[in-house]
Amino acid sequence: MLKIGDFVNSFILFNSVSFLGAIVLQANNIINIFDESYTSDGFCVSNKEMPILLQTHSLCFYFDTLFSCALYYLINNVTVNKDPDKNKEILLPVKNQIPGLFLHGLGHLAMPYLIDTSQNFNGTLKGIDNNFGKFVTICITSGFWYFMMKSINSSGNLPYWKIHSAVNAILALYIVPTLFNFTHTQTSIIVTLTTSNLLKKNKDVYYDLASTIIGLPTAIMPWIEGMYCDNFAVWYGGHLIYDITLPISCIIYHRVCYYKALQENIESKRTD
């Protein structure tokens, strides 16, 4: 029997493929729905006239690091179920986000220092002219994709996740044009995540909650960032609004699970 989470994940998968198609169509001048500032930078970038440490990529690092710490605290100090094994299972979608979230932020911090983001290179490494910068980029990119694919597999069912990790890292480092880095990243993550979720065998109400609360907002935000960069997103950190959507959704998921457990405890005491 199909679960609510199955319908949600199917929509997210369709939405992600549609976003990729729209980006490709605009790159070939067939449609024009995304703001020029977004397509020219590959991200919605705020505070361009300010020092790098106050621009969008640095802001993403600050907030991704802050939220990584907040999520780590929540999963280790605030339980949502008395059964330790069930608690671990419920919070796995949150726990899995932490390494990738931090490395994602670290990548944002390094980006404006290592590569000219105003130009379009075939692969990130081609835009870096020193060996140290290339080494750092390889470490961050490989680590990000490793932990991301590992987390997707651990909370769902992603066969050969290490191969997925290696392929995505190679694509980012050597092949994908830098202006399409974000599109490649979010499309690969969402396609593998939703497919992994749909293939998952044991699905309960927490599967529905995680898919809806964590997955759905993250899938919608790229459209908002791209289509409303100049009139909305740029005034609130640009790409930062996308980056913080995931951890905020994780916190909301945690709180919903927490209060669900409280309600269940109250009801069980009444019956007793």
Question: Is pLDDT of 245 > 90?
Answer: yes
CB proximity list for 85: less than 8 A, separation 6 or greater: none
CB proximity list for 46: less than 8 A, separation 6 or greater: 55, 56, 59, 233, 234, 235, 236, 237, 238, 240
pLDDT digits (tens, 9 = 90+) for 109-147: 988 888 776 677 778 888 888 888 899 899 989 999 998
Buried b (16+ CB within 10 A) or exposed e, 127-145: bbeeeebbebbeebbbbbb
Higher-confidence position of 193 and 22: 22
> CA gyration radius for the chain?
19
Distance CA 272, CA 252 (A): 30
Question: What pLDDT shows up at residue 272?
Answer: 59
Question: What pLDDT shows up at residue 82?
Answer: 86
pTM over 0.85: yes
Considering the chain, what is the average pLDDT of its residues? Answer: 90
